Amino acid sequence: MAEIWNVMNKNKQKDQSIASLVRKYIESDNSLKKCMQLGIINVSSLSRIIYNELKKQGINSSIPSISSAIKRYKITNPMELYMPYKVIGSSNISLTTDVGKIVVNRRSLKTVTEKLSLISDDVIFFSKTVNTFTIVLSKSAFNHILNILNKNNERAIEIKTGLSLITIHSTKEIIETPGVINIIYQTLADNGINIEDTTSSYMDTLLLVSNKDAGKAFNVLNDLISKNQGLEDVAK
């Protein structure tokens, strides 16, 4: 009797372990969680995917036990799933065409920044890393910065024109809501749109894309916002 109980106990512990691994796998993918919530997951297919993933990690499992864990899975806090989409649905979007990007070495930083105050209205954003300094500005000020560099015998690492800026203005909730930017990036990637550069400032997300992709990028992001409008009631 004791041996039977030990076997049953070990099986129970194994099932609990598989269930926790399945939960961890699902929880790591927000899109997967959303599909689970909507009930549009193919349990058999997902079971095989998770089984193969666990097998790669040297973890013994079985497809039936994984399938059982998937069917029992429940989202702990559905509010967390909807919040990033709620923030997106409360956002608005604008498009600025014909902007340019100049990337310079850090040693050119002083030369450039001393002049930026003179054309501040034309500077859209700039970012600084350990080695480089990137300026995104309107077409009208583009040649001005290049002339400054040339006069000081300095060269830009990268010069790029024919770009457009998409600005997504969100509510203050974006500051503390994980996953919003990821959804925006993934939407563009799914539609074959490359992001040339990006930054965020307070409640604004700025995306730099090529002029040829600007219309498509604006439309897919505008559709993303439109279809998630009114999620306040769902998230409550």
All structural domains of the chain = 2-75 (no CATH), 87-235 (3.30.2130.10)
Q: Give per-residue pLDDT as tens, 200-232.
A: 889 999 999 999 999 999 999 999 999 998 765
Given this model, what pLDDT does residue 9 score?
Answer: 39
Mean pLDDT of 65-73: 92
CA-atom Rg of the chain in angstroms: 25
Given this model, what pLDDT does residue 235 score?
Answer: 47
Q: Give per-residue pLDDT as tens, 92-141.
A: 999 999 898 988 887 776 667 666 666 666 777 878 788 888 888 887 77
Among residues 163, 146, 62, the alpha carbon closest in space to that of 104 is found at 146
Which run of H or of E encompasses 133?
strand 132-138
Given this model, what pLDDT does residue 231 score?
Answer: 67
The answer to whether 81 and 235 have CB atoms below 8 angstroms apart is: no
The answer to whether 125 and 199 have CB atoms below 8 angstroms apart is: yes
